[in-house]
Structure 1
Amino acid sequence: MDLSEEAIAMPFERLNLNTSNPVLSWANHDLGSEETRMAKNVASLPFVFKHVALMPDVHLGKGALVGSVIATKDAIIPAAVGVDIGCGMCAIQTPFTAGQLDGKLKKIRQDIEAAIPVGFNENKEVDKDVLNWQGWRDFKHLHPGVQKLESKAMKQMGSLGGGNHFIEVCLDANDQVWLMLHSGSRNIGNMLAQNHINTGKELARLATIKLPDPDLAYFVAGTPEFAAYWHDLQWAQDYARMNREVMMARFQRIVEQHLAGGKPTRPLLSVNCHHNYAEKEVHYGEDVYVTRKGAVRARETDYGIIPGSMGAKSFIVKGRGNPESYCSCSHGAGRTMSRNKAKTAYTLDDLIQQTQGVECRKDAGVLDEIPAAYKPIEQVMANQADLVEVVATLKQVVCVKG
């Protein structure tokens, strides 16, 4: 699909859900019954500010739709932020060009896999940069339920994780080499989230608060529970950002070794953005808490990254600062089917065919990440032409999956 000026974005739709707060949707599909129910549940909460915004890649999540932007007054929903706190993307534009990669892709992939742990794996030794991270000073103030995990958190910083997390070498339209990766706050972020979500559910039970979904349990600003969660949330978001920086530094050194004889280079552009997080922001002249559950901040000054699947294009974008979306855009293509369904609907031959030209794993362990399990990224991008402008269009030549 053409993404030039001739490509016309669909305007957002104001959904009629009979809720106290409207839902504005940039989705490229009609919401199904479960998606509609989930959107309606969130929009009916009394502390939701103005409206709920749904991004083009919106799909089912837990409590709230993945691809939701939720602004709230004086309350926060831990499960709406999710369990991979601070999950996001990192990319750099290198000074290298496509021709320098000739004959080196397989070895680059092998070196990445040797240097950066994936799945449940962790680093055998802790990097000096990791040990010196300022965040460890505050670890003792995190939730009591994670106090035994400091050593594991240290070893996992600089590791990819599993699922849809990835590391890619990409080329843009000018054959410039880009390095890109997708990861979050690993086990420590997950455990912090789970502890606080459980606290929220217990508080709702004790207060006999009637919620449309137990996963929409919330904390009220000014309470100790809110303060504890907000503190841990910010810590985990910082951990996630640092995790991506550590991996990107290793990744960059590997590529420099192959393409520049180990000589350090300076990135032409660097982007590091969350897409699973919450922050205090000002919208419509008011202070609010903005939760982006599978969405990227897209103010006019913001660069963002919107990846496709492991066989599709990805996009470096700059925000347009659209107030209706709370200055947000999509975080990717969005899944069209569950992981289990993808494994039964497609074969390894399908995976091989759909990842032609990409140096990557082509085995049953990544079949659930087959490109056909995701929405067409070009359509997702066309639906948000009013949210972002495309700075660079990337296509991967190497892909390492978690």
Structure 2
Amino acid sequence: MMSSPFPVALAGTAAPTLMWAHEHEVEPQALQQLRNIASLPWVEGLRVMPDVHLGKGATVGSVIAMRDAVSPNAVGVDIGCGMIGVRTSLTAADLPDDLHAIRTRIEQAVPVGFHAHDEPVDLRRLRPVNGSAGRERLKGADAFWDRFGGLHRTVQQLEARARKQLGTLGGGNHFIELCLDESDQVWLQLHSGSRNIGKELAERHVAIAKTLEHNQRIVDRELAVFLAGTPQMDAYLNDLWWAQEYAARSRAVMMALVVQAVRDSFPEREITFDEGVNCFAGETRVLTGAGIFPIAELAGGIHELLTTGGRWVKAPIMSFGKQRVYEVTVGRYGEEKVIRATGNHRWLLRAKVAHARDEATTQDLRVGDRLAYAFPARVSGMKVDRASVARGFVFGDGSLCGKQTRARAIFCGDKDESLLPYFEGLTTNCVRDYGSVKVLNGFPAEWKTAPVATSSHPDIVYGWLAGYFAADGDVDKSGRPSLSSSRRDHLEAVKALATSIGVGTYGIRTRVRRGIDGRDSELHVMGFMRSDLDLDFFVQDEHRARFATGRGAVERKGWTVRSVEITDDVEEVYCAVVPETEAFTLEDNILTRNCHHNYVKTEQIDGAELIVTRKGAIRAGSGEMGLIPGSMGTGSYVVRGLGNPASFQSASHGAGRRMSRTAAKKRFTVEDLAAQTAGVECRKDAGVVDEIPGAYKDLESVIAAQTDLVEVVARLRTIVCVKG
């Protein structure tokens, strides 16, 4: 395929506008719409995809980068509209000559058009897409619907309808298809959005935006915007993210129903389904507000996850079925760890030089790539709580007594004795002197058996960490602080506590030591980030002096890729679905992408933080997988993004319409529809003439116009198409 002759600049626009289409190919009304968008004072740049055509307010096929503003019509009324594809173990040779029965089964399973389920789909009855895997993806429904009460007050009466429409196709350009790839493997794919509830939410927020003072003088009030930091923007984003999640859940439900319909069509066969998403093996540990846990244990729930900028956000973690995994070995400070992830998982990178790639898939990682990281923001104004210092010291250097119902503090030598003032007033017992050892009794047993809770006041957490560090910590000559313990679980608890107050830690290393009895035992060591501690943290004079004078400590926060290897392991994988930022943090502060595609997010454009919206466009970052569909029955392309910064890392969402629905009905007949969909099992009646392939742009030309934006992975040919 020849290289793309694009982009070309659109003349007469206030903000820089690049197009992956020629002006003569775009209807005049759409060109004027693009100039209207570019005239908004908040727009920093506009990118136009080859599927461009007239839309309401904002043009379909537009990618808009705004500073501190967003236009609801730049997202559209079908919030969260997107694609999902599944490759099956079936081949063309397995299919019957007449595919009508399969289409009928799908249409019976998934309501189309204005229809809905008679009752909300019972998710417990859905058979997973991949054997015992996949069901977790549909869990967390209770927490999701609990958020409905927080949506715009005027949609509260629509909850019952929204529940019944979850897992339904809708109409327009939405579809469910069976396709064949170049090797005659059968794929299932579907295209849908947020149904009526997304439309209702969008229209209400557009109406609100039109009333705002700053929108009264813009060229087209259909482009009315919300400004960052305002209650109106916050309310819109809250509803937007809910609707995007609704759309994603709806596609998951539909795909499970379609899969079951296909299984029922082949009762004698065991069919497997391979979803092309980006996920982690179950043992991968994730940083949460409640601690660090294997991702498999978190599946099905809503959790507080660390995202970009050190912020905590609530998001679901789901199972995405069984997939082949790679092993990624990363290193830092002589420490190595292995993370297992699917080949298409997206990793965020720290560019070594300007304009270097900032993202790569597992299979495209290179030795030496530096992974991005995230640390929680340190709680400001923290002070060391003195009573908590005492408790932390007992945890490290104390013991149980009185039939293990009480705890005591043990002070060995002058260094430990310097902590005695922290214990004043905490017990009525007196210090007992045993030569070089002093003992103080009368503390609760839990002081020795359990750390403080992560939900404790930050001063208490900081003080407890300071006391434990005084007992078992060390500051080397370069000023680098570290904590040692014979029990790894103690350091795991410390890591969680430090994270809860924004104090960074390094990974836990284990070494073998020989005791005075000649036996070997394990000693676990974990370092602290110097920049997150202050002198008050070090209650031992020696520790404080070394920390204050240390100058040689290097603080390396990120991990570097050492190797990437594909394995033969096919197992259940998991990922988070984080709104807005599309990123969450693994153990040891590795920041990574998630599986969900959003249409409003903050991105770095030429060094500036801008709000990017995509309407009729998809994100096509380096290595990101996507589906670009054509029209009714013309198939789709599986593509991999090239991360072209000129397009704001975007590509087309589909072929795009070349005429309106009204024009299509006037121009084409049922006979034309039958001719243009020959060989495809689908509706061929007057009710879908407006979706005829001739009403859309040529898919091959649309793909050819963006060879600098995406590379083709596979071409899918439609054999069954279900329309609303």
Q: Where on the TM-score scale, by shorter chain, does this alignment land: which range? A: over 0.9
Larger deviation: 86-95 or 355-364? 86-95
Structure 1 residue aligned with 2:420: none
Higher normalized helix content (fraction of residues): 1
1:144 aligns with 2:157: no
- Matching of residue 386 in structure 1 with residue 708 in structure 2: yes
AA aligned opposite 1:219: F
Structure-1 residue corresponding to 2:242: 235
- The alignment status of 1:101 with 2:95, answered yes or no, reads yes
1:354 positional shift: 0.3
TM-score, structure 2 normalization:
0.53
Look up the match of 1:203.
212
Aligned partner of residue 391 in structure 1, secondary structure: strand
CA distance in 2, matches of 1:267, 1:13: 39
Q: Tell whether 2:509 aligns with 1:187.
A: no
Partner of 1:363: 685
Residue of structure 2 equivalent to 1:44: 39
Measured in 1, the distance between the counterparts of 2:607 and 2:272 equals: 43
What SS is found at the alignment partner of 2:258? Answer: helix
Alpha-carbon spacing, 1:319–1:240, altered in 2? closer, same or farther (3 Å):
same
Q: In 2, Cα distance between the equivalents of 1:276 and 1:366?
A: 29
* 1:396 partner SS: strand
Root-mean-square deviation over aligned CA pairs: 1.9
Give the counterpart of 2:78 among 69, 80, 84.
Answer: 84
Q: Tell me whether 97-106 or 253-262 shows the greater mean CA deviation.
A: 253-262
Pair 251,124 (structure 1): closer, same or farther in 2 beyond 3 Å: same
* Structure 1 CA distance for aligned equivalents of residues 22 and 719 of structure 2: 28
Flag the 1:37–1:119 CA change in 2: closer, same or farther, 3 A: same
**1:154 corresponds to:** 163
Runs of 4+ in 1 over 6 A off after TM superposition: 271-276
27, 35, 39: which one aligns with 2:30: 35
How far is 1:197 from its partner?
A: 0.5
Paired residue total: 393
Instruction: Report the CA distance shift for 1:332/1:180 in structure 2 as closer, same or farther (over 3 A).
Output: same
**Contact 1:169/1:180 (<8 A) preserved:** yes
AA at the equivalent of 2:172: G
| Distance change >3 Å, CA 275–CA 57, structure 1 → 2 | farther
- Any idea what SS the aligned residue of 1:267 has? strand
Does the 8 A contact of 2:210 with 2:216 survive in 1?
no
Give the aligned residue type for 1:152: R
The counterpart of 2:613, out of the listed 291, 309, 323, is: 291
Amino acid at match of 1:46: P
Q: Give the C-alpha shift of residue 262 in structure 1.
A: 6.6
Deviations 1:121-168 (A, max 9, x none): 111121233785232121110000111111111100000001111100
Aligned pair partner of 1:65 in 59, 81, 84: 59
The aligned amino acid for 2:710 is V
Q: Deviations over 1:295-322 (max 9, x none)?
A: 0110013111110111313101110001
Report the equivalent of 2:349: none
Contact 1:87 1:274 in 2 (8 A): no
Q: CA 1:397 to 1:54, structure 2 compared with 1: closer, same or farther past 3 Å? A: same
Percent of residue pairs bearing the same amino acid type: 51
Deviates more, 1:285-294 or 1:224-233: 285-294
Correspondence 1:120 to 2:114: yes
**Which position in structure 1 is the counterpart of 2:274?**
267
Letter in 2 for 1:11: F
1:267–1:243: structure 2 CA closer, same or farther, 3 Å change rule?
same
Greater relative contact order (Cα < 8 A, sep 6+): 1
**Amino acid in the other structure paired with 1:325:** S
Q: Give, in angstroms, the shift of residue 374 of structure 1.
A: 0.6
Distance 2:265 2:235 in 1: 46
* Ranges in structure 2 where 5+ consecutive residues have no aligned partner: 124-137, 279-319, 321-594
Contact 2:3 2:708 in 1 (8 A): no
**Residue 22 of structure 1 pairs with residue 16 of structure 2:** yes
* Match among 169, 194, 198 for residue 178 of structure 2: 169
Query: 2:264 matched to which residue of 1?
Result: 257
Which stretch has the larger CA shift, 226-235 or 267-276?
A: 267-276
Instruction: Return 263-272 or 188-197, whichever deviates more.
Output: 263-272
Query: Counterpart amino acid of 2:4?
Result: A
User: Quick check: 2:57–2:73 contact (8 Å CA) kept in 1?
Assistant: yes
Q: Secondary structure at the match of 2:274?
A: coil
Counterpart amino acid of residue 36 in structure 1: L
Q: Larger Cα Rg: Structure 1 or Structure 2?
A: 2
TM-score, scaled relative to structure 1: 0.94
**Deviation string, structure 1 residues 27-49 (Cα, Å, up to 9, x no partner):** 25523331221111111111112
Q: CA deviation at 1:14?
A: 1.0
Partners of 1:309 and 1:333 within 8 A in 2: yes
- Do residues 215 (structure 1) and 210 (structure 2) align? no
CA distance in 2, matches of 1:63, 1:28: 21
> Deviation of residue 241 (structure 1)?
0.8
C-alpha displacement at 1:274, in angstroms? Answer: 8.0
